Amino acid sequence: VKPVEMTTTSEDGGYIAPDFSVSSSIPRELSSQDLEKLRMQDARGVLSDFHRSKLEQQAAVNWDKFYKRNETRFFKDRHWTTREFVELLGWNDSDDQSENEDTVSIEKHRSLLEVGCGVGNLFFPLLESGLHLRVFACDFSSRAISFIKQNPRYDSKRVTAFVADVTRESCFSDHMPGTTVDLITCIFVLSAVSPEEHCSVALNLARVSKPGTVLLFRDYAVNDMAMVRFKPGAKISDRFYVRQDGTRAYYFTSEELTALMSAAGFVCTESRYIHRRTMNIKEGVDAARVFLQAKFTYNPL
């Protein structure tokens, strides 16, 4: 039985103790035991070019297998997003409280692009809360998109869900030609992409942005306990690892993320490390987690 106060589920299934959540401008300090584990990772070396190439080629397949195993059960609905990202709450949501969804024209809906939408754990709660949003939701996994469209909450008038490899230049234009959006969420998705492709993703986000578009970001951060606990032989490159199921995870620093997005025209308005203790009762794990949370505004030169 989990303690009463541990009511929030982490991105990897553990229970987060909210009382231990703090934000900081610096990542977690590593202990001597942590440093030894990282040394052991380096002593084993990184994966071969052949193995790295194979993982890249099988990335979509591995995520499809992930959703085949877990279906819609693994991630919980992200009801925390409007608390952490108040930008999701717009003027029409506060000023038009007397208007229900049927009376608000589609022109008054702000447009949201959710990158790496999974099975809809972010945008479904937003729509259910009454926000006037027109949602474009994409994911690498065709199985995840299929689950979204099978969900009784799916409304094709308000949501366009599609499969996309966000490293490809035409990833959005094939499904939302000529569309620019007001908001972009990039929540625990860029870490699954090879760091060599991060620049391509950022440029693709810029292609569907207009001056003032807001990009909301949260992902794994450097020195996260999950990074430290990877076994020797799982390291692909610096801060980039492969899990047992073949999916991959990259751990960001604030400085590199800001530089990456700045090169694509996004100005950083906030960047901080979120420190939490995650307890997985079933596995007997008490881990110091670190996430990177940031906000950007598109301001092309």
Contacts of residue 113, Cβ cutoff 8 Å, sequence gap at least 6: 136, 137, 138, 172, 176, 181, 183, 184, 185, 205, 208
User: For the CA atoms of 50, 56, 61, 65, what is the dihedral angle to 10 degrees?
Assistant: 90
Report how far residue 152's alpha carbon sits from residue 74's, in angstroms, rounded to the nearest whole number: 19
Tokens of 25: 């401008």
* Predicted local distance difference test score (pLDDT) of residue 62: 84
Q: Is the pLDDT of residue 152 over 80?
A: yes
Q: Is the pLDDT of residue 222 over 60?
A: yes
Residue with tokens 């996994």: 141
Whole-model pTM: value is 0.85
- Give percent of the chain above pLDDT 90: 67
Q: What b/e readout covers 76-113, taking b as 16+ CB neighbours within 10 angstroms?
A: eebeebbeebebbebebbeeeeeeeeeeeeeeebbbbb
Mean pLDDT to the nearest integer, 115-137: 94
Mean pLDDT to the nearest integer, 234-242: 96
3-class secondary structure, 20: helix
CATH code, 21-88+109-298: 3.40.50.150
Question: pLDDT band at residue 15, thresholds of 50, 70 and 90?
Answer: very low
Q: Is the pLDDT of residue 30 over 90?
A: yes
Residue 252 DSSP symbol: B
User: Could you tell me which residue, 124 or 11, shows the higher pLDDT?
Assistant: 124
Q: Is the pLDDT of residue 109 over 60?
A: yes
Mean pLDDT to the nearest integer, 41-45: 95
Q: Is the pLDDT of residue 36 over 70?
A: yes
